[in-house]
Amino acid sequence: MMLSPRRPLANWKQIIIALSGPAANFAVIYFCIPFAGRGSELASLCIGVNVTLCIFNLLPIAQLDGGRILWYLLDLCLPEEAASRVVGVVSLCFSLALAVGGAALLVLRVGSWTLLLTALWLVAASIRRKTARRRVSA
């Protein structure tokens, strides 16, 4: 979603917007709990998927809501450039860790290609973001 640069939202509003996705996951989980308690396999699956999505989305990677939240929190106490640098390093580290984890799960034959491919996309996006930032500052 692109917001007008002429009317930026305050950091706390941006954080609330970023938390709306995980909040939706929690709403679905809350709705499914009574059905899972009655033995519904579909409800249990729905809870598991939403817990996983919520946790994944809150990882401090710039392209995910967790990275946006981290940036806006850091922006409150650091200069914008420093906040961007910290988020860039944290994003790259977490993305690389996900890629290693995804590859390890594939080697152990207990995972699928989904985590590895998603993590590699996040690594590429983190590197692309870092190089784009260098070009702008040069």
What is residue 136's predicted lDDT score, i.e. its pLDDT? 57
What is residue 7's predicted lDDT score, i.e. its pLDDT? 72
**Beta carbons within 8 Å of 67's beta carbon, 6+ residues apart:** 59, 60, 61, 87, 90, 91
Task: Quickly state the pLDDT bin for 10 (edges 50, 70, 90).
Answer: confident
Sign of the Cα pseudo-torsion (7, 10, 14, 16, in order): negative
- pTM to 2 decimals? 0.81
Instruction: Return d(Cα 1, Cα 14) in angstroms, integer.
Output: 12
What is residue 11's predicted lDDT score, i.e. its pLDDT? 87
Instruction: Return d(Cα 97, Cα 100) in angstroms, integer.
Output: 5
What is residue 112's predicted lDDT score, i.e. its pLDDT? 85
What is residue 138's predicted lDDT score, i.e. its pLDDT? 54
Each residue's pLDDT tens digit, 82-130 = 999 999 999 999 999 999 999 999 999 998 899 999 999 999 998 887 6
